[in-house]
Amino acid sequence: MAVPKDIDARRFYHVALQRLDDGTLLLDKLGRPAPSLYLTGYAVECILKALLIVSTPLRKRTQVIGSFRGRLAHDLLWLRDLLKERGVNPPPTVVKEWAYAAGWSTDLRYQPGPGDDEDAARMLDAARIVVEWAKGRM
Protein backbone atom coordinates (compact mmCIF):
# COMPACT_ATOMS: atom_id res chain seq x y z
CA MET A 1 0.00 0.00 0.00
CA ALA A 2 1.56 3.19 -1.19
CA VAL A 3 0.74 6.86 -0.96
CA PRO A 4 -0.65 7.96 -4.34
CA LYS A 5 1.79 9.73 -6.64
CA ASP A 6 -0.87 11.98 -8.14
CA ILE A 7 -0.84 15.25 -6.17
CA ASP A 8 -4.64 15.54 -6.01
CA ALA A 9 -5.11 11.91 -5.00
CA ARG A 10 -2.40 12.31 -2.39
CA ARG A 11 -4.19 15.34 -0.91
CA PHE A 12 -7.49 13.44 -0.58
CA TYR A 13 -5.60 10.41 0.78
CA HIS A 14 -3.93 12.40 3.55
CA VAL A 15 -7.12 14.26 4.45
CA ALA A 16 -8.94 10.91 4.71
CA LEU A 17 -6.39 9.63 7.21
CA GLN A 18 -6.51 12.88 9.16
CA ARG A 19 -10.33 12.86 9.36
CA LEU A 20 -10.25 9.24 10.53
CA ASP A 21 -7.78 10.20 13.26
CA ASP A 22 -9.94 13.23 14.13
CA GLY A 23 -13.06 11.08 14.40
CA THR A 24 -11.24 8.59 16.62
CA LEU A 25 -9.88 11.32 18.89
CA LEU A 26 -13.26 13.02 19.18
CA LEU A 27 -14.98 9.82 20.23
CA ASP A 28 -12.33 8.00 22.24
CA LYS A 29 -10.63 10.88 24.04
CA LEU A 30 -13.21 13.66 24.11
CA GLY A 31 -16.48 11.74 24.20
CA ARG A 32 -17.93 13.75 21.30
CA PRO A 33 -19.87 11.29 19.10
CA ALA A 34 -21.68 13.83 16.88
CA PRO A 35 -18.58 15.54 15.50
CA SER A 36 -16.80 12.18 15.40
CA LEU A 37 -19.48 10.75 13.15
CA TYR A 38 -19.47 13.84 10.95
CA LEU A 39 -15.70 13.86 10.38
CA THR A 40 -15.49 10.11 9.98
CA GLY A 41 -17.89 10.34 7.05
CA TYR A 42 -15.49 12.73 5.38
CA ALA A 43 -12.70 10.17 5.87
CA VAL A 44 -14.66 7.69 3.75
CA GLU A 45 -15.54 10.33 1.17
CA CYS A 46 -11.94 11.49 0.80
CA ILE A 47 -10.37 8.03 0.53
CA LEU A 48 -12.91 7.11 -2.15
CA LYS A 49 -12.10 10.29 -4.04
CA ALA A 50 -8.39 9.49 -3.85
CA LEU A 51 -9.09 6.01 -5.19
CA LEU A 52 -11.30 7.43 -7.92
CA ILE A 53 -8.56 9.80 -9.03
CA VAL A 54 -5.92 7.07 -9.28
CA SER A 55 -8.43 4.80 -11.06
CA THR A 56 -9.17 7.42 -13.71
CA PRO A 57 -7.06 7.77 -16.86
CA LEU A 58 -4.74 10.77 -16.61
CA ARG A 59 -6.47 12.64 -19.43
CA LYS A 60 -9.81 12.53 -17.56
CA ARG A 61 -8.64 13.35 -14.05
CA THR A 62 -9.27 17.10 -14.28
CA GLN A 63 -12.86 16.39 -15.27
CA VAL A 64 -13.33 13.94 -12.38
CA ILE A 65 -11.84 16.34 -9.84
CA GLY A 66 -14.12 19.07 -11.21
CA SER A 67 -17.11 16.85 -10.43
CA PHE A 68 -16.21 16.96 -6.71
CA ARG A 69 -18.45 19.97 -6.20
CA GLY A 70 -21.94 20.27 -4.84
CA ARG A 71 -24.17 17.92 -2.92
CA LEU A 72 -23.69 14.91 -5.20
CA ALA A 73 -19.95 14.92 -4.58
CA HIS A 74 -20.58 13.93 -0.94
CA ASP A 75 -22.75 10.95 -1.91
CA LEU A 76 -20.84 7.76 -1.09
CA LEU A 77 -23.08 5.70 -3.39
CA TRP A 78 -22.38 8.05 -6.30
CA LEU A 79 -18.66 7.58 -5.65
CA ARG A 80 -19.24 3.81 -5.56
CA ASP A 81 -20.90 3.96 -8.97
CA LEU A 82 -18.04 5.97 -10.47
CA LEU A 83 -15.53 3.47 -9.11
CA LYS A 84 -17.57 0.54 -10.49
CA GLU A 85 -17.44 2.20 -13.93
CA ARG A 86 -13.66 1.97 -13.63
CA GLY A 87 -13.71 -1.68 -12.64
CA VAL A 88 -13.06 -1.07 -8.94
CA ASN A 89 -15.21 -3.57 -7.08
CA PRO A 90 -14.74 -4.14 -3.36
CA PRO A 91 -15.14 -7.54 -1.73
CA PRO A 92 -18.43 -8.29 0.09
CA THR A 93 -17.03 -7.40 3.51
CA VAL A 94 -16.14 -3.92 2.29
CA VAL A 95 -19.45 -3.57 0.42
CA LYS A 96 -21.27 -4.17 3.72
CA GLU A 97 -19.28 -1.49 5.55
CA TRP A 98 -19.52 0.91 2.64
CA ALA A 99 -23.30 0.46 2.65
CA TYR A 100 -23.36 1.32 6.34
CA ALA A 101 -21.19 4.39 5.82
CA ALA A 102 -23.40 5.51 2.91
CA GLY A 103 -26.02 6.52 5.47
CA TRP A 104 -23.72 9.42 6.33
CA SER A 105 -24.63 12.88 5.08
CA THR A 106 -23.23 16.37 5.33
CA ASP A 107 -26.66 17.24 6.77
CA LEU A 108 -25.35 15.87 10.08
CA ARG A 109 -23.87 19.30 10.66
CA TYR A 110 -27.38 20.57 11.32
CA GLN A 111 -28.29 17.91 13.90
CA PRO A 112 -28.32 19.28 17.44
CA GLY A 113 -27.31 17.20 20.40
CA PRO A 114 -24.34 15.16 21.49
CA GLY A 115 -24.92 12.21 19.15
CA ASP A 116 -24.83 8.53 19.96
CA ASP A 117 -21.65 6.76 21.06
CA GLU A 118 -22.65 3.46 19.44
CA ASP A 119 -23.47 5.10 16.09
CA ALA A 120 -20.16 6.93 16.05
CA ALA A 121 -18.22 3.79 17.02
CA ARG A 122 -19.98 1.78 14.31
CA MET A 123 -19.17 4.46 11.73
CA LEU A 124 -15.53 4.44 12.81
CA ASP A 125 -15.42 0.66 12.38
CA ALA A 126 -16.96 0.91 8.91
CA ALA A 127 -14.66 3.75 7.91
CA ARG A 128 -11.54 1.89 9.03
CA ILE A 129 -12.45 -1.09 6.86
CA VAL A 130 -13.24 1.02 3.79
CA VAL A 131 -10.12 3.17 4.24
CA GLU A 132 -7.83 0.16 4.65
CA TRP A 133 -9.30 -1.52 1.58
CA ALA A 134 -8.95 1.65 -0.50
CA LYS A 135 -5.38 2.23 0.69
CA GLY A 136 -4.53 -1.24 -0.57
CA ARG A 137 -5.82 -0.32 -4.03
CA MET A 138 -3.68 2.80 -4.44
Q: 36 near 122, Cβ under 8 Å?
A: no
Those residues of the chain that have pLDDT short of 50 are none
Q: 48 near 4, Cβ under 8 Å?
A: no
Give the number of other CB atoms < 10 A from CB of residue 19. Answer: 22
E strands present in 5-122: none
Helix, strand, or coil (residue 88): coil
Q: What is the pLDDT of residue 1?
A: 60
Quote the CA–CA distance of 81 and 79 in Å, as a whole number: 5
Q: What are phi and psi of 119, to 5 degrees?
A: -65, -45
Q: Whole-model pTM? A: 0.95
Helix, strand, or coil (residue 63): helix
Angle at 10 between CA 9 and CA 13, to 5 degrees: 85
Domain 7-136, CATH: 1.20.120.330
Quote the CA–CA distance of 77 and 14 in Å, as a whole number: 21
Q: What is the pLDDT of residue 2?
A: 80
Quote the CA–CA distance of 3 and 41 in Å, as a whole number: 21
Q: What is the pLDDT of residue 25?
A: 98
Q: Which residues contact 103 (CB under 8 A, 6 or more apart)?
A: none
